[in-house]
A and B are shown apart, each in its own frame.
Chain A
Amino acid sequence: MMDSKRRNFLKSAAMAAAGSMVAGNTSLPVVHADQAVDDLPTGEGMEWNKAPCRFCGTGCHVQVGVEDGRVVAIAGDKAADVNKGLLCVKGYHVGGILYGKDRLTQPLLRQDDGSLKAIEWDKAIEIIAKRIFDSPETFAFYGSGQWTIPEGYAAQKFMKGGLGNNHIDPNARLCMASAVTGFLATYGVDEPAGCYQDLDECDVLITWGNNPAEMHPVLFSRVTDRRSRGETVRIIDIGTRRTRTTDAANDYLEMKPHGDVAISLGIMHLLIENDNYDKSFVEKHCNFRGAEELTPTLQGEQISEDDFRKRIAKYTPELVEELSGVPADSIRMLADLFGNHDIRITSLWCMGMNQHTMGTAINSLVHGVHLLSGHFGRPGDAPTSLTGQPSACGTVREVGTLAHALPGGRVVAKPEHREQCEGFWNVREGSINEVPGYHTVKMFEQFTTPTSDGGDITTMFVQVTNPGQTLPNLNALFNDKKGLEDKFLIVSDVYPTATTALADLILPAAMWVEKNGMFGNSERRTQQWFKMVDPPGEARDDTWMTIAIAHKLFEMGHEGMKDRDGDFIFAVKDDDGQEIPVWEFDRYYDTNVDKHLFEEYRLFTTMKHKNLAPYEEYVKARGLRWPVVEQEDGSWRETKFRFSGFDDPFVKEGQEFDFYHSSSDDGRAQIWFHEYAPPPEMPDDEFPMWLCTGRVLEHWHTGTMTRRLAPLNRAMPTAYVEMHMEDAKAANIRQGEVVTIESRRGVCDLPVWIDGRGRPPRGTVFVPFFDETKLINNVTLDAHDPFSKQPDYKKCAVRVVKKADAKVSS
């Protein structure tokens, strides 16, 4: 019984919305076009060139249309195998990311009164170099999976080779560190064996806590479009809320947080009990492994098959139902599918399994399900871990820009690895520090702890990422605090962000096609592009910044910046042997610095058989999947299916499968057993709801780029909290009402979307993290996986409070 007044109000509200639709919303909400452009583009003289998309880890190629030095159009690249001419709504509008009105265009130094003052680049480089020179061991470099391969490589060499400082870590620690440890624990070497072709050939696709319909839409429609063509693909969605992926799924298995661990154990239990696991595959190619009792390591200890059977015996479908909330019959259904060797099964996962306090365990277990059932290594049979950033694989995992790693799958802890790197870099012996540096959470803990209390990171350089929005538990790890006056935060970025808000020195960066670059996507594909337009104002390349700082230190006499011959470690020589002063920005593009760095980096890649081709091969291709091996005719061949004898050139002649980097040195992969453990924080009387955070189709990561694109911002103008209708009803909360989400760590105000795009079950709320004005990471938990050190953003306990009742408002 709605009274007429209210009805009228609703109507007029809807009319107002509708009215604004006519004014702005049916078309694109662009404030104004640029006066700076005298002649509007006409398409005459427009040049097209290839580049990988700037956003996610899928690695679509786009064609970039450039006219009069400006990007004016984007098209899906028909020659690209990844996306075959299609893109998603972000990719189609990627050209606009260069043109937000508030691009950073000059270095800015924070003054004592908190204001920012424009300074010259020389001055900025000098300030940074001086801080590093004065205290090299308390400097930290925080980068990202959006670093291009040469950017990450330069940063890596500068820190570990030059400064002998291992405090370099990427935001990918928050994103796929558990995927890495899962691969290492299982195969002894990182990154997926299969490729996107698996999506074209699978009969069953299982999405584990994954919503590819929104997060990797090009890959997901690659599967659903097969249905439109008349093929049958069964999609099974295992998740904690209904999503657009669920809409396309044949089965939806709703699990409790951490239920995935129980489900994978339950499947393995049944495979063994029903005796329909792949005995021949397991016998020839697998070992069993469990965690050590006292101090568990990534290596674990070998256990017998009997021992494995004994340990897993208790994970009956009934127990799994109790732990996961998924009915026992559904567990049996999954086990029967895996027990059927006539079908091909591909698993897909991304943040759901990675941002998990049992991240390493669940990654290993899902690999284990595929290995035990033999659903591995045939096209369509693949455990496939996706990445969220364009070069999380290429830069972070392969170049190894992690606190413990060295390029090409090496680690600082191994003397022979250090020695090899010192050799490749021609830096003096013993340059590389053997102690791993701080991982992300630790790094920020040390940076935000006063020096007098042992906070031994005093200067931090952040490139290509936005920790002020993405770190968990921001109140502990980032937000402004007292006693940090001596700390110095340097941020290189393209737009003002939550991170630049606290920066002492802001450096304007060139982005995407304003510079040369290389990315590596989720399927081991290395991609290359050329600079197409100039960056605005004084914005400069991140690689250049690193080299310029290194050169300033070299001039100041820092020994680490000299190689064994006394030359600058980033010296680039022309054909006549003359050094090109690439540290001067107006000379930086006299040569292709990317190419020089990449050719040097290539030397590192053969140890783990992740061989890369010469730079020029990538210029010609729409990316190549490593290992890329030279053929007798001089051509270069990429590898689609690693470890499979029919495709991988490094598998021993005549072998069907060969895990040639096996951690047990016998060519076998490891099937792990991990005991189920409950999440570190569970809802209780005080904080009765689960909070899950994530993403939406229209925005990428912290939205700094996509929220400056009219079509995307129009579609998703604000973050929100998704709630179940009954939960809202019980708390007397209305559609669109702004509520406060409270946890033990902080609060965040958000408008409510009841039964929104995703539909969480009762007792769960979901919040996307893209909106810099509504920082949900003030609320999240910083508990992390013991091996990967990756925090869990997917589950913590909160309460949803009407704003009037909130104790503290954000």
Chain B
Amino acid sequence: MNRLTTIFLSLVMAVAVVGYFVGLGDGVPKPDGLYDSPLLDRELSATVASEVKLIPAVSYAEIASTPMGPTKPWQGMPQALPGADYDLYTKIEPSEAEKEASSKLRASRRAFNGAPPIIPHPVENTTDAACYACHSNGVKMAGLKASVMSHQFLGNCVQCHAPMAPAPFQDVDASVDTSFVGLPAPKQGKRAYQGAPPTIPHSQWMRESCNACHGGPHGWAGMESTHPWRTNCTQCHAPSATLDQMPEADIVPMLPPLDVVAK
């Protein structure tokens, strides 16, 4: 009897619970898109990251509540012991192929050489601090790379760097029919002779930190300096006056030649 009562009561409870939830889901659509953000969804962000090799940036306020630990693909990988810290003196042999691949990727994010790169990952309405969290020193992890800022800290990152479309509008066709052809990245600097240090083939403005691309642990493959321990780049590599908007001079001004009288 006791047992029957227990079964009966559990049935009643089960029905009540089921009924409660059925009652909740009365078939009327709830505005449940409100709180959804692909950026805040742990599972989704893991998928996004593994699929497209991107890590979503969230706003600074949301960092605390956002899973920032190892992503699923990372966890799925055979783990090795951490390697040694970045070694300045590892021999670096940049390859042309790597350089070309890096150039291509960089070019795909700029309208022309010198344009501020667009932001290639989703951002919500982030503050600068959220950008800075990854991009101040750069991050390299499992094939993902957050570039180092090549210029000093400036407020309002999205003033210059255009983000992806806001979350609700990412499937809107944003294609543009244009005949604009931007200046491509220069391939290399000029050398006065074989073995001479090459000149800097691009402007230095907003690219004050050479290591952002050319060295350190977070540079671009194929563009790294072979001598990252050297810190005063312009000691050997001459910049361009024209590209750096120095005062113009068509002819390099010189003193007149010596007035040597022929005998």
Chain A interface (Cβ < 8 Å from any Cβ of B): 1-3, 6, 10-11, 13-22, 24-34, 36-37, 40-43, 46, 48, 63, 65, 67, 70-79, 85-89, 92-93, 95-96, 98-102, 213, 217-218, 220-221, 224-225, 227-228, 244, 247-248, 697-698, 707-718, 720, 725, 728-729, 732-737, 751-754, 756-757
Asked if residues B51 and A89 are in contact (CB atoms below 8 Å), the reply is: no
For window 235-258 of chain B, which residues contact chain A by CB distance below 8 Å? 242, 244-245
- Shortest C-beta distance, A85 to chain B (Å), equals 6
Besides the contacts A77-B245, A213-B159, A725-B34, what 5 more A-B pairs have beta carbons closer than 8 Å?
Answer: A25-B165, A36-B179, A93-B111, A717-B173, A735-B168
Q: Which 7 A-B pairs have the closest CB atoms?
A: A27-B108, A34-B179, A736-B168, A224-B155, A99-B180, A717-B174, A715-B162
Q: How far is the CB of A379 from chain B (nearest CB, A)?
A: 22
CB distance from B5 to the nearest CB of A (A): 31
Q: State which of B31, B178, B201 has its C-beta within 8 Å of the C-beta of A30.
A: B178
B183→A31 contact, CB < 8 A: no
Q: Quick check: B159 and A24 within 8 Å, CB to CB?
A: no
- Cβ–Cβ contact A73 & B176, under 8 A: no
- Whether the Cβ atoms of B24 and A713 lie closer than 8 Å is no
Residues A710 and B31 in contact, CB atoms below 8 Å apart: no
| Contact (Cβ within 8 A) A95 B180 | yes
Within the assembled complex, what's the spacing in Å between the Cα atoms of A720 and B169?
A: 9
Residue numbers in A under 8 Å from B65 (CB-CB): none
Give complex CA distance A89, B157 in Å: 10
Q: Which of B66-74, B114-122, B138-146 contacts A (4 or more CB under 8 A)?
A: B114-122
Contact B164 A41 (CB under 8 A): no
- Chain B: minimal CB distance from A494 (Å): 13
B19 within 8 A of A: no
Known contacts A24-B175, A708-B176; is A697 also within 8 Å of B158 by CB?
yes
| A-chain residues with CB within 8 Å of residue B154 when the two chains form the complex | 86, 221, 225, 228
Q: A712 — which chain B residues lie within 8 A by C-beta?
A: 162
Q: Which residues of B contact A11 (CB under 8 A)?
A: 44, 47
Least Cβ–Cβ distance between B121 and chain A, in angstroms: 8
CB pair B155–A228 under 8 Å, yes or no, is yes
Q: Is B137 an interface residue (CB 8 A)?
A: no
B118: A residues at CB distance < 8 A: 28, 711, 714-715
B29 at interface, CB cutoff 8 A? yes
Contacts of A737 in B (CB 8 A): 33
Q: How far, in Å, is A758 (CB) from chain B's closest CB? A: 9
If A72-B181, A89-B161, A754-B34 touch, does A217 touch B175 (CB 8 Å cutoff)? Answer: no
In the assembled complex, the Cα of A709 lies from the Cα of B174 at a distance in Å of 10
Most B CB atoms within 10 A — which of A10, A75, A95?
A75
* A24: B residues at CB distance < 8 A: 175
Which B residues have a C-beta under 8 Å from some C-beta of A? 21, 24-25, 29-34, 36, 38, 44, 47-48, 51-52, 54, 108-116, 118, 120-122, 125, 127, 153-156, 158-184, 186, 201, 203, 205-206, 242, 244-245
Per the bound structure, the CA–CA distance linking A129 and B248 in Å amounts to 46
List the B side residues contacting A217 at CB < 8 Å.
Answer: 156, 159
- Please indicate the chain A residues that have their CB under 8 angstroms from the CB of B109 in the complex: 26-28
**Contact assessment for B168 and A14 in the assembled complex, using a CB-CB cutoff below 8 Å:** no
A757 in contact with B112 given A714-B118, A732-B31 (CB within 8 Å): no
Contact partners of B120 in chain A: CB under 8 A: 21, 25-27
Total number of residue pairs linking A and B with CB closer than 8 Å: 261
Contact B178 A718 (CB under 8 A): no
Q: Which residues of B contact A77 (CB under 8 A)?
A: 245
Contact A736 B169 (CB under 8 A): yes
CA A42 to CA B185, docked complex, whole Å = 8
A698 surroundings in chain B (CB, below 8 A): 162
How distant is the Cα of A20 from the Cα of B54 in the complex, in angstroms? 13
Find chain A residues with CB under 8 A from B174 CB: 25, 29, 710, 713-714, 717
Contacts of B32 in A (CB 8 A): 2, 6, 734
Are A96 and B178 neighbours in the complex by a CB distance under 8 Å? Answer: yes
From B115, B122, B170, B245, contact of A74 by CB (8 A): B115
Question: What is the CA–CA distance of A590 and B46 in the complex, to the nearest angstrom?
Answer: 64
Q: Which residue on chain B has the smallest CB distance to residue A102? A: B177
Contact assessment for A736 and B33 in the assembled complex, using a CB-CB cutoff below 8 Å: yes
| Cβ contacts A to B, 6 pairs, < 8 Å | A10-B36, A26-B120, A29-B174, A48-B245, A227-B155, A714-B118
Specify which of B25, B176, B186 lies most central, judged by the most chain A CB atoms within 10 Å of its CB. Answer: B176
Bound Cα distance A395, B178 (Å): 30
> How long is the Cα–Cα vector from A698 to B245 in the complex, in angstroms?
27
| Contact call B245/A41, Cβ cutoff below 8 A | no
How long is the Cα–Cα vector from A488 to B26 in the complex, in angstroms? Answer: 59
Q: How long is the Cα–Cα vector from A11 to B156 in the complex, in angstroms? A: 31
Q: Which of A31, A72, A225, A735 contacts B176 (CB 8 A)?
A: A31
Which residue of B24, B29, B34, B186 is within 8 Å of A735 (Cβ)? B34
CA distance A274 to B165 in the complex (A): 50
- Minimal beta-carbon separation of A153 from chain B (angstroms): 30
In the bound assembly, the distance between CA atoms of A34 and B182 in angstroms comes to: 11
What is the distance, in angstroms, from B12's C-beta to the closest C-beta of chain A?
Answer: 22
Q: Output the nearest chain A residue to B246 by Cβ-Cβ distance.
A: A78
CB of B183 within 8 A of CB of A101, answer no
A16 touches B205 (CB 8 A): no
The answer to whether residues A73 and B113 also contact, given A29-B175, A43-B183 and a CB cut-off of 8 A, is yes
8 Å CB contact of A224 from B30, B156, B158: B156
| B114→A17 contact, CB < 8 A | no
Asked if A17 contacts B171 (CB within 8 A), the reply is: yes
Q: Are A25's CB and B168's CB within 8 A?
A: no
Known: A25-B164, A224-B155. A15 touches B183 (CB 8 A): no
Assess whether A93 is in contact with B171, with CB atoms less than 8 Å apart. Answer: no
Given A48-B242, A85-B205, A732-B29, check contact A213 B156 (CB 8 Å). Answer: yes
When distances are taken between beta carbons in the complex, the residues of chain A under 8 Å from B161 are 89
Q: Are B54 and A21 in contact (CB under 8 A)?
A: yes
Are B111 and A710 in contact, with the CB atoms below 8 A? yes
* Residues on B with beta carbons closer than 8 Å to the beta carbon of A93: 111, 115
Q: Which residues of B contact A76 (CB under 8 A)?
A: 205
Quick one: closest B residue to A227, CB to CB? B155
